[in-house]
């Protein structure tokens, strides 16, 4: 990133047009077209944008909220600049939020699926929001390696059917931009973009959102990107994890067709938050030496959504029955 402003005293910077389009006041502003969004993020990824422009652009988008065309253009440009090969992966699982109130039960859902032969690539970023537990540190605690390149992803998929790849390996620039969370005081559209990358072109994708308004835009963007099987939910803490204390609306794509399905609330009262996220307790639940009322609902329910999204079952009812079997027989 650079801050050489004075070069542009007499000539407009090429990126200025994109800031102007989205920032031209209440009546003059509009969303970027797909092509404009594609070009704008391409310039950012090539480090052709000044820091001051970057801050203005990201926050204007944040206030306005990204359109489906913008999001699709951002993701496609990013995918086109990545040099990853397509791999035979069943499920792409994004993990960018971290957990604060509850353990990352979704992680046990993913690892259970991997134990039963489903191949999963999980990618995410860590440390961008204070006082949260991130997937990367939990995996390390459980003894799983963090992949640092494509070769290690292939190796882990062969050995464990599961691989975790940090965003900084996928795209150092995107990782830096997510790291600006504490500088800006707000999350930026980069969080949304990163969730949709699907770097190895997995057969199915899953993303969670925190704000319900983003559910549809994620679904529509995945559809425009050509993803055939996908699921988006408002997950607990912003991760792809079924919250038993609330109804869960799944906005999905099944064999190229858009659908919505609502799963019912499963508890009578709001479950208490953990006093502390003691990973020793979490590990004991995974190993079967301890039980956890909330976790033992959240894990199989999340597995069920994944099974349906991968097309393993024909109904959500069947998915949940199979999910409970997989969780019970994870050893």
45-83: pLDDT as tens digits: 999 999 999 999 999 999 999 999 999 999 999 999 998
Cβ neighbourhood burial of 130 (10 Å; 0-12, 13-18, 19+)? exposed
> Residue 184 has what pLDDT?
86
Closest by CA to 194, choosing from 264, 92, 115, 303, is: 92
> Residue 83 has what pLDDT?
84
CB contact set of 215 (below 8 Å; sequence gap of 6+): 209, 232, 233, 234, 249, 251
> For the chain, how far is it from start to end, CA to CA, in angstroms?
48
In this structure, how many other beta carbons lie within 10 angstroms of the beta carbon of residue 36?
18
280-308: pLDDT as tens digits: 999 999 999 999 999 999 999 999 999 99
Q: Is CATH 3.40.1030.10 what the domain over 91-328 is classified as, yes or no?
A: yes
Give the C-alpha separation, 92 to 196, whole Å. 9
C-alpha dihedral (91, 92, 93, 95), degrees to nearest 10: 170
Domain at 10-81, CATH class: mainly alpha
Give the pLDDT of the chain (331 residues) as one tens digit per residue: 555 556 778 899 999 999 999 999 889 999 999 999 999 999 999 999 999 999 999 999 999 999 999 999 999 999 999 989 999 999 999 999 999 999 999 999 999 999 999 999 999 998 767 779 999 999 999 999 999 999 999 999 999 999 999 999 999 999 999 888 888 888 888 989 999 999 999 999 999 998 888 899 999 999 999 999 999 999 999 999 999 999 999 999 999 999 999 999 999 999 999 999 999 999 999 999 999 999 999 999 999 999 999 999 999 999 999 999 999 999 9
**What predicted TM-score, i.e. pTM, was given to this entire model?**
0.94
> Residue 201 has what pLDDT?
97
Q: Where are the domains of the chain?
A: 10-81, 91-328
- Quote the longest CA-to-CA distance of the chain: 69
Closest by CA to 60, choosing from 42, 83, 37, 43, is: 37
């Amino acid at each position: 990133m650079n801050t050489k402003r004075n070069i542009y005293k007499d000539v407009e910077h090429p990126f200025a047009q994109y800031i102007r389009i989205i920032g031209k006041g209440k009546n003059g502003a509009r969303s970027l077209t797909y092509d404009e969004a594609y070009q704008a993020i391409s310039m950012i990824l090539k480090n052709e944008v000044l820091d001051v422009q970057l801050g203005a652009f990201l926050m204007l988008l944040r206030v306005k909220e990204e359109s489906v065309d913008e999001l699709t253009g951002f993701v496609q440009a990013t995918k086109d600049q990545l040099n990853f090969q397509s791999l035979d992966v069943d499920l792409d699982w994004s993990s960018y939020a971290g957990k604060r109130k509850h353990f990352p039960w979704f992680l046990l859902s993913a690892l259970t699926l991997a134990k039963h032969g489903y191949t999963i690539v999980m990618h995410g970023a860590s440390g961008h929001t204070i006082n949260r537990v991130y997937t990367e540190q939990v995996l390390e605690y459980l003894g799983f390696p963090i992949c640092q390149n494509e070769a290690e992803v292939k190796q882990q998929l062969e050995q464990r059917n599961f691989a975790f790849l940090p965003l900084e390996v996928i795209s150092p620039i995107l990782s830096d931009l997510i790291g600006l969370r504490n500088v800006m005081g707000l999350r930026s559209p980069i969080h949304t973009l990163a969730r949709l990358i699907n770097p190895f072109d997995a057969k199915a994708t899953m993303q969670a959102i925190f704000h319900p308004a983003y559910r549809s835009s994620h679904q529509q963007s995945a559809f425009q990107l050509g993803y055939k099987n996908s699921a988006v939910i408002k997950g607990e803490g912003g991760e792809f994890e079924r919250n038993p204390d609330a109804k869960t609306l799944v906005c999905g794509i099944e064999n190229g067709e858009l659908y919505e399905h609502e799963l019912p609330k499963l508890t009578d009262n709001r479950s208490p938050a953990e006093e502390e996220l003691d990973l020793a307790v979490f590990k004991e639940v995974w190993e079967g030496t301890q039980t956890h009322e909330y976790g033992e609902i959240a894990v199989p329910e999340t597995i069920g959504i994944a099974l349906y999204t991968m097309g393993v079952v024909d109904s959500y009812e069947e998915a949940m029955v199979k999910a409970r079997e997989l969780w019970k027989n994870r050893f």
